[in-house]
């Protein structure tokens, strides 16, 4: 049976191990991105996300960035997740950080500087 998906957009393409792909999928679902499709061929996973869910996620991140402490709490959770090797929480953080990277206008200059430092200091850690 063929199913037609009308409202999908290319999200990301990554070379991850099966356990990392599983964590990626779980993190996306936990963030409300339940209609994403993940296709893995020869170790390369491509994600397609539902445009409507993506818009809701963008608006949520934009709104939450205005709350005192929310951004810093996400960074703290991300560092703890790396230390504990909690891959789902790592991918949750990466999804939020990626949304900010894609829409720089939603974050303050201080948040963008902090995010850059987090990315630079943890880039290798998420793959361990």
Would you write out the chain's pLDDT as a tens digit for each of its 128 residues?
556 667 888 888 999 999 999 999 999 999 999 999 999 999 999 999 999 999 999 999 999 999 999 999 999 999 999 999 999 999 999 999 999 999 999 999 999 999 999 988 887 665 55
Per-domain residue ranges of the chain:
8-127
Q: Give me the helix-helix angle, 87-102 and 51-64, nearest 10°.
A: 90
Residue 98 exposure: Cα atoms within 13 Å on the Cβ side: 13
The structure's pTM equals: 0.88
Side-chain half-sphere exposure of 46, counting CA atoms within 13 A: 7
């Amino acid at each position: 049976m063929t199913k037609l998906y009308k409202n999908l957009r290319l999200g990301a393409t990554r070379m991850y191990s099966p356990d990392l792909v599983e964590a990626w999928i779980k993190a996306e679902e936990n963030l409300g991105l339940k209609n994403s499709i993940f296709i893995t061929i020869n170790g390369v996973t491509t994600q397609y996300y539902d445009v409507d869910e993506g818009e809701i996620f963008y608006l949520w991140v934009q709104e939450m960035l205005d709350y005192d402490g929310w951004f810093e709490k996400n960074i703290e959770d991300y560092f703890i997740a790396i230390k504990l090797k909690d891959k789902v929480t790592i991918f949750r953080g990466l999804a939020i950080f990626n949304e900010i990277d894609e829409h720089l206008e939603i974050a303050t200059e201080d948040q963008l500087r902090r995010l850059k430092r987090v990315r630079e200091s943890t880039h290798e850690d998420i793959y361990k």
